[in-house]
């Protein structure tokens, strides 16, 4: 039953994205499209999975100023856990392979999200610079998984530098979304997914920081997130 629930949840994503294409084509590259789509996908996905997501600290998510949101990345199902948490005017950072996912890839591109090709580091650096400029110029927020890959519920991995470079360059605060370790497990005969608690930590200000402060900023954020995840 759990496998059926997961199949239905993921089949719902391209269907929702297909209908969402109308909105994205009507106002292309509007980052608020991402917020609407993320809310719908997450709510329907969690309902189909039978998943509960107790959330602490929602008041810490900035709603009136740009922020760089970082979150720990464990499974593809993170989409259903976090999709409805995007602050206004948020773009996400994703790998280039996402573009080829039917309907989802097309709305991802039309949402003005940042697509990185890890094999072309110079273009990746240029893309991160562009988004740090957008944080200031267009008052956009950015959502990124700083680990760079999924941990599969095996604890917080080391961070890549991109999100922290963008935060320092723009002066935007870093908001940390912490998700408890989970293993894609089900419970009961009806296959409902395990409960996955989350916590949003108070923003870490970056105004006045320089590139020299990057290692300390990364270490502080990693420590705070690791402690929060361990406490969930």
Strand partners, 69: 143, 175
What angle do helix axes 2-26 and 32-49 make, rounded to 10 degrees? 160
Domain borders along the chain are: 2-230
Per-residue pLDDT of the chain (232 residues; tens, 9 = 90+): 888 999 999 999 999 999 999 999 999 999 999 999 999 999 999 999 999 999 999 999 999 999 999 999 999 999 999 999 999 999 998 888 888 888 999 999 999 988 876 555 555 566 666 677 777 788 899 999 999 888 888 889 999 988 998 999 899 999 999 999 998 888 888 889 999 999 999 999 999 999 999 999 999 999 999 999 999 9
Query: What pTM does this model have?
Result: 0.92
Q: How far is CA 166 from CA 43, 152, 214, 223, in A?
A: 30, 26, 11, 20
pLDDT in tens, 23-40: 999 999 999 999 999 999
CATH code, 2-230: 3.40.1130.10
């Amino acid at each position: 039953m759990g496998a059926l629930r997961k199949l239905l949840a993921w089949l719902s994503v391209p269907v929702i994205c297909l209908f969402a294409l109308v909105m994205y084509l009507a106002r292309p590259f509007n980052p608020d499209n991402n917020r609407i789509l993320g809310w719908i996908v997450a709510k329907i996905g969690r309902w189909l999975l039978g998943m509960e997501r107790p959330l602490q600290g929602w008041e810490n998510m900035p709603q009136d100023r740009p922020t760089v949101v970082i979150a720990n990345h464990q499974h593809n199902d993170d989409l259903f856990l976090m999709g409805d948490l995007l602050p206004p005017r948020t773009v996400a950072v994703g790998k280039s392979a996402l573009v080829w996912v039917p309907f989802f890839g097309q709305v991802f591109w039309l949402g003005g999200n940042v697509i990185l090709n890890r094999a072309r580091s110079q273009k990746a650096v240029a893309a991160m610079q562009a988004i740090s400029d957008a944080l200031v110029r267009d008052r956009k927020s950015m959502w990124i998984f700083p680990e760079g890959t999924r941990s599969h519920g095996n604890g917080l991995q080391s961070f890549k530098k991109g999100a922290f470079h963008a935060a320092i360059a723009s002066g935007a605060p870093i908001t940390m979304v912490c998700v408890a370790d989970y293993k894609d497990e089900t419970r009961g005969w009806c296959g409902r997914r395990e409960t996955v608690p989350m916590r949003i930590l108070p923003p870490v200000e970056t105004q006045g920081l320089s590139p020299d402060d990057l290692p300390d900023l990364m270490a502080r954020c990693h420590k705070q997130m690791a402690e929060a995840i361990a406490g969930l």
